[in-house]
Amino acid sequence: MPKLISRNPANAEIIREFETTPLEDLPKIFDRARTAQMTWRAQTTQVRAEYLIQLRETILNHADEIIYLIAQENGKPRYEAIANEMIPTLDLLTYYSKRSPKLLRDRPIPLTLMKHRKSYLNYWPIGIVAIISPWNYPFFFPFSQIIAAIVTGNAILFKPSELTPCIGLKIQELCNEAGLPPNVLQTLLGDGAVGAAIIKQKPGKIFFTGSVSTGKKIMAASAQHLIPLNLELGGKDAMIVLPDASLDYATSAALWGAFSNSGQVCASTERIFVHERIMGPFLTQLKEKIEILRQGPSSRPENDLGSITSENQKTIYSRQINEAKAKGAEFITGGEFSSNKRFLKPTIITCQQMEELEIYNEETFGPVVTVSSYQSYSEAIEKTNQSKYGLNASIITNNISLGEKIAKQLEVGTVTINEVVYTAGLAETPWGGVKESGFGKTHSEIGLYEFVNIRHIHKPRSRIFIFKSPWWFPYTHFQYISFRQFLEFYRENWINKIRAIPDFLWNFIKFIKEEKRL
């Protein structure tokens, strides 16, 4: 059986070795999930919400070991393990524990025409959901989806990234310790072969976070069984710096937006568009701020940038950087690996022919940002929207109303004004993109509804109003005339509506009498 090896990306030391999940065990794993889900879905939403509170307490009881594990296996600074992984997870647990009982209640639908009847929406679990998660936020990203799946009454098959299996198993341990019934959550270890095997077992829905290329493969495989998907894929996210922006504020926003988690963020700022009037000073200040960043192993609590987690990403960095150098791009700073190739120095690139570079058009997913100028707002909007991705964008300005006007013209799932990246961690706001950044939402009440089926129920308002509907068979002469006259009530002019009333009532009464004789 193939081994799965977890390594510390800062020094390549082996953390732990695992046996991968045997593919032949998948049918039994699904059977266990189905049995567990039937019991779990029978619990009230309030009971499941109370479980989230216990899960939150369990995470807090193990906070230090979780922080250490994230920093060790993923390579991000320990501060980012707290701020970008722990806090958003705890906040989402708090939000769904309070809000889900209300959000999952039957929701009435006001009816305009059929006042004698009632309609409402009824939410029910999908059944078994598959969650295939990435390595860049190995705790928060999968946990946010697991939390939503648990509180909505689903069973979960969870495949963490093969680069961060220890963190995936820690999530399983935390859920078990908090009292989640056996097999409601099952963690499967392995590479893409395990993910493909999960799809063949036909889960009720698949939640995938990762690259566009893998997302397309999952979509093609899912189409064979009509399995619905939620895809959160790549980004080439833009920042537009308006000429009125504070340079100190704008460069600080760009610094964190481009280089937090060493740029290994789907919402990372990878393209910056600066008004030509302030282009020079912007680059100067940004370079000065980059030069004071501390980069090193996450065993050091004071570092700002951690190591590169994925070996595959290093190949992408090298290819994009080498092409940019060959085509004459100017490297304001960076563009080089450390001597042990565990770290890529923070990199700023500018170029006259920026649109020709792969590093401008394709996701880099690392500590690299391109900076180019624009003359007009329409040009900045056009450059932002030219990308095939549409996940996130940011605008830096002192004119908030102008920022909002520009925001409403950007073809992305989220626009932040005078902020960058972080709204993916807000429990109350939806997260997801458009175009090749995927589809579907997570977090918020919109994201919660991704984990349920929605059933419409329609019923009489009371026993008094149970009578045959006037559109039932057999069709008659006066029935046709009545319904034809009814169309006039949709006129815009109220005088025409009023004029239609006598003829409608006269013919409708005749229709009722005629119907009684049949």
Distance in angstroms (rounded) separating the CA atoms of residues 7 and 143: 22
User: Are residues 144 and 158 in contact, defined by beta-carbon separation less than 8 angstroms?
Assistant: no
Residues 384, 497: one domain? no
Is 266 annotated as catalytic?
A: yes
Residues 173, 139: one domain? yes
* Res 1: pLDDT: 63
pLDDT at 362 over 70: yes
User: Are residues 369 and 254 in contact, defined by beta-carbon separation less than 8 angstroms?
Assistant: yes
pLDDT per position as a tens digit, 47-58? 999 999 999 999
* 62 occurs within a structural domain: yes
Residues 450, 499: one domain? no
Distance in angstroms (rounded) separating the CA atoms of residues 445 and 368: 34
Strand order in the sheet with 269-275: 330-333, 347-350, 368-374, 269-275, 237-241, 392-396, 414-417
The domain that holds 101 is classified in CATH as 3.40.605.10
Residue 234 neighbours by CB under 8 Å, 6+ apart: 211, 212, 266, 363, 365, 389, 391, 436, 437
User: Are residues 27 and 42 in contact, defined by beta-carbon separation less than 8 angstroms?
Assistant: no
* Res 463: pLDDT: 83
Is 351 annotated as catalytic?
A: no
Residues 37, 180: one domain? yes
* Mean pLDDT on 356-374: 97
Residues 80, 210: one domain? yes
* Mean pLDDT over the full length of the chain: 96
* 9 occurs within a structural domain: no
* Res 518: pLDDT: 64
* Mean pLDDT on 461-477: 87
Which 8-state DSSP code applies to residue 344? B
Active-site hit among 80, 266, 351, 362: 266
* 214 occurs within a structural domain: yes
Residues 201, 270: one domain? no
pLDDT per position as a tens digit, 301-344? 778 999 999 999 999 999 999 999 999 999 999 999 999 999 99
Q: Dihedral (C-alpha) 484, 488, 490, 496: value to the nearest 10 degrees?
A: 180
* 13 occurs within a structural domain: no
Residues 179, 108: one domain? yes
**pLDDT-above-70 percentage for the chain:** 99
* 510 occurs within a structural domain: yes
User: Are residues 102 and 123 in contact, defined by beta-carbon separation less than 8 angstroms?
Assistant: no
- Structural domain of 352: 237-429
pLDDT at 376 over 80: yes
Q: What pLDDT band is residue 516 in, cutting at 50, 70 and 90?
A: confident
**Torsions phi, psi of 58, nearest 5?**
-65, -45
Residues 418, 395: one domain? yes
* 334 occurs within a structural domain: yes
Residues 249, 381: one domain? yes
Residues 309, 415: one domain? yes
Residues 283, 313: one domain? yes
Distance in angstroms (rounded) separating the CA atoms of residues 236 and 220: 23
**Torsions phi, psi of 444, nearest 5?**
65, 180
Cα 417 to Cα 142, 241, 244, 400, 405: the distances in Å are 27, 10, 13, 7, 11
Active-site hit among 80, 232, 270, 363: 232
Task: State how many domains the chain has.
Answer: 3
Residues 212, 258: one domain? no
